[in-house]
């Protein structure tokens, strides 16, 4: 690859990771706790609630939230536009890798 890019046959590819910022707002956190309080009132055991919390805290559940996907897509576009404005001679395209295939359809 180095030889081809040195010869001018191939363009160099630069990888720049954009990690998802997974932050839950205080309001959303309160709603989640209220939901589990209601589950307890309706007869769920402590073990059932804890198991539910474990399942719901998995990354695929968090990252699959449509609001979260929208924020990530906005961040990708904003970052790409900033780079193309700063380095138009270098940045020419953008590829994205998603956690799951259905994430792309939601963002699209």
Rounded mean pLDDT for each run of 10 residues along the chain, 108 residues in total: 71 67 76 91 92 78 74 82 83 67 52
Tell me how crowded residue 68 is: count the other CB atoms within 10 A of its CB. 19
Burial 73-99 (b: 16+ CB within 10 A, else e): beeeeeebeeeeeeeeeebeeeeeeee
Compute CA distances 91 → 7, 83, 88, whole Å: 20, 7, 6
Give 17: exposed, middle or buried? Use CB within 10 Å, 0-12, 13-18, 19+.
Answer: exposed
pLDDT at 106: 47
pLDDT at 1: 61
pTM above 0.85, yes or no: no
């Amino acid at each position: 690859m180095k030889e081809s890019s040195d010869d001018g046959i191939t363009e160099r590819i630069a990888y720049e990771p954009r990690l998802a910022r997974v932050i839950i707002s205080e309001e959303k956190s309160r709603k989640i706790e209220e939901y589990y309080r209601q589950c307890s009132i309706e007869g769920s055991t402590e073990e059932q609630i804890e198991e539910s919390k474990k399942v719901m805290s998995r990354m695929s559940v968090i990252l699959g939230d449509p609001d979260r996907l929208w924020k990530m897509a906005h961040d990708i576009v904003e970052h790409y536009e900033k780079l193309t404005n700063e380095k138009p001679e270098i940045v020419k395209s953008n590829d994205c890798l998603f956690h799951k295939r259905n994430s792309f359809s939601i963002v699209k």
